[in-house]
Amino acid sequence: MQELNMKFIDPHIHVTSRTTDDYEAMRKAGVVAIIEPAFWLGQPRTKVGSFQDYFSSLVGWERFRASQFGIKHYCTIGLNSKEANNEALAEQVMELLPLFVGKEGVVAVGEIGYDDQTEAEDKYYRLQLELAKEVALPVLIHTPHRNKKQGTTRSMDVSEEHGLDPKMVIVDHNNEETVKEVLDRGYWAAFTIYPHTKMGSERMVEIVKQYGPERIIVDSAADWGVSDPLAVPKTAALMLQHGIPREHVEQTCYYNALAAYGQSGQMKESDWLQAGPVDQRHKFSGNSVLRGGQEPNVENGGSNIVPN
């Protein structure tokens, strides 16, 4: 894709589902940092241990894997709205969450909110809002795909019932129907750029033209389905082509995500600007991103000490 000589943050991407080729392409396109929200894996989990291992991978292996391709990885931790409907399991997951939200690199509680807007979803959404307040972390809200406007309004109403400051809440999966209210109420408005559905790049351009760059965040939400891990840089390129000022593009595709999630105290620009060179001789729990016989990428001589 077009070289823009810009830095990007993708603040919502499920890289556990992506390949090393995606990491390489993202870095080449200018993505320097990513946030991976805990989410549904495509089929229901049946035991609390599967959540525990998944959360552990977000703060462990995947963080390491991203670093091996020159990308800084952060995550959010939470019980997703879809699986909140299994209340017996949800109760056990709620006991796990306090063990993980304080881990290094966790920048928010999320993604949480509503799917079908059931009583169970409401219960565990509220409990997780209280957890976020307790640990002073931002909240990432998943707005429902059905009855989106109603669910988005309800998400914000409940957040305010629990006393959260809108500046600490990122409302994601917005569209033309929800954006005005989200911005008017002082929340961060994030947009998922998906091929053929949700919010496309062309529609995103029009949103930024109409509302400007304040508190607007562009992300890919790329996952195990048809999605694009380069959605953020591609949307940035289209914005520039349509005459949106470069500083507005940088704000929506880099600085706003840093400001919103930086409130966690876990995410700073120096994390990647002052990061050491990539050294694929490193290992995580004895494991490498390479397979037998593959030559490690060692930039600028790598580090003097290579941990095993």
Topology (CATH) of 8-275: TIM Barrel (3.20.20)
Q: What is the C-alpha to C-alpha distance for residues 149 and 141, in angstroms, rounded to an integer?
A: 13
Q: Is the peptide bond before 111 cis (omega within 30 degrees of 0)?
A: yes
pLDDT at 195: 81
pLDDT at 308: 44
Closest-CA residue to 302 (of 271, 280, 285): 280
Residue-wise pLDDT tens for the chain (308 aa)? 667 899 999 999 999 999 999 999 999 999 999 999 999 999 999 999 999 999 999 999 999 999 999 999 999 999 999 999 999 999 999 999 999 999 999 999 999 999 999 999 999 999 999 999 999 999 999 999 889 999 999 999 999 999 999 999 999 999 999 999 999 999 999 999 988 766 789 999 999 999 999 999 999 999 999 999 999 999 999 999 999 999 999 999 999 999 999 999 999 999 999 999 999 999 999 999 998 889 999 998 766 554 44
For residue 261, the one-letter residue type is: Y
Q: What is the C-alpha to C-alpha distance for residues 89 and 99, in angstroms, rounded to an integer?
A: 17
Domain boundaries, the chain: 8-275
Q: What is the C-alpha to C-alpha distance for residues 172 and 140, in angstroms, rounded to an integer?
A: 7
Q: What is the C-alpha to C-alpha distance for residues 132 and 308, in angstroms, rounded to an integer?
A: 35
CB 72 within 8 A of CB 271: yes
SS (H, E, C) the chain: CCCCCCCEEECCCCHHHCCHHHHHHHHHHCEEEEEEECCCCCCCCCCHHHHHHHHHHHHCHHHHHHHCCCCEEEEEECCCCCHHHCHHHHHHHHHHHHHHCCCCCEEEEEEEECCCCCHHHHHHHHHHHHHHHHHCCCEEEECCCCCHHHHHHHHHHHHHHCCCCHHHEEEECCCCCCHHHHHHCCCEEEEEECCCCCECHHHHHHHHHHHCCCCEEEECCCCCCCCCCCHHHHHHHHHHHCCCCHHHHHHHHHHHHHHHHHCCCCCCCHHHHCCCCCECCCCECCECCCCCCCCCCEHHHCCCCCCC
